[in-house]
Amino acid sequence: MVGLTIRKAQRAFRTGAVVLAGIAGLVLSMEVAGAQPKKVVELFTSQGCSSCPPADKLAERLVEEDSDVLTVLMPVDYWDYLGWKDTLASPVHSQRQRAYATRRGDRSVYTPQMVINGEEHVVGSRERDVRAALDRADPFTAQVDLKISDMVVQADLEGQLPAGAKMATVYFLRIEDEATIDIGRGENAGRTIRYVNIVRNLQPIGVWEGGSETFRMPKSKLMLKGDARCAIIVQIEDRDGPGKIIGAAVLNLRDGA
């Protein structure tokens, strides 16, 4: 009788082990790794700016053709007084653009403006200038391994800070895949414009001082708005504000849904 009980226990243990292994395999199979772009382009744009649609189109081309570049749109709100309130704009984007200008010391804030790796700015509709700035951009010094599972978005950082830097801020971005807007008033009245990779939320999730470190966000909080993508950028920051971007990763949230 004792031997029978032991054999039953052994069979139960083996069955349980198989079930647990299956669950572990399922969790691992749901884990999706993100892409690791080598450069970041931020386009500061506005629905109320007649010069912006060509830059919006260029941003769309960059998204479609170059996986080595993370191109995101940062719609600003400071042209809203011209007669059309930008439906995608955020004052956070406007403040970020002003902070860049203050740090550079040139006070140059305009649309369309592309900022490359948090440093060099160019007119966002001038494709030759944009591509030349991308060619000049320094390589990243931080590697970001971004993954998503059924519950967590996780960023594993590895690398080092540039010489003289003391810390970098790790930013999490929620990104809307695309939006098509009918402009009713203002400089673009009557136009229908398509926007891609629109930043809907930009928030710091930690500070990195080099070496190996992991940052996590609950997936449940990220999917509330139904956004298609998320990204991590690692950016040197000090009392003067945001500076050089030294690492980035992007992934599709729905791949892990």
Lowest mean pLDDT among 53-67, 122-136, 169-183, 211-225: 211-225
Residue 155 contacts residue 214 (beta carbons within 8 Å): yes
Is 22 part of a structural domain of the chain? no
Q: How far is CA 60 from CA 167, 200, 232, in A?
A: 32, 17, 20
Question: Domains in the chain: how many in total?
Answer: 1
Given a cut of 70, is residue 19 above it in pLDDT? Answer: no
Closest by CA position to 203, among listed 160, 153, 165: 153
Q: Are 82 and 187 in contact (CB under 8 A)?
A: yes
State CA 257 to chain mean position distance: 18
Structural domain including 243 reads: 32-256
- CATH number at 123 reads 3.40.30.10
pTM: 0.85
CA distance 127 to 256: 35
Is residue 21 over pLDDT 90? no
Would you say residue 12 lies in a domain? no
226, containing H or E segment: none
pLDDT for the residue 50: 96
Domain annotation covers residue 26: no
Average pLDDT, the chain: 86
Residue-level pLDDT at 5: 44
Cβ neighbours of residue 217 closer than 8 Å, sequence gap 6 or more: 152, 153, 154, 172, 205
- Of 156, 154, 147, the closest CA to residue 29 belongs to 147
Residue 198 domain-assigned (yes or no):
yes
Tell me if 163 is assigned to some domain: yes
Q: How do residues 150-204 score in pLDDT, each as one tens digit? A: 788 899 999 999 999 999 999 999 999 999 999 999 999 999 999 999 999 999 9
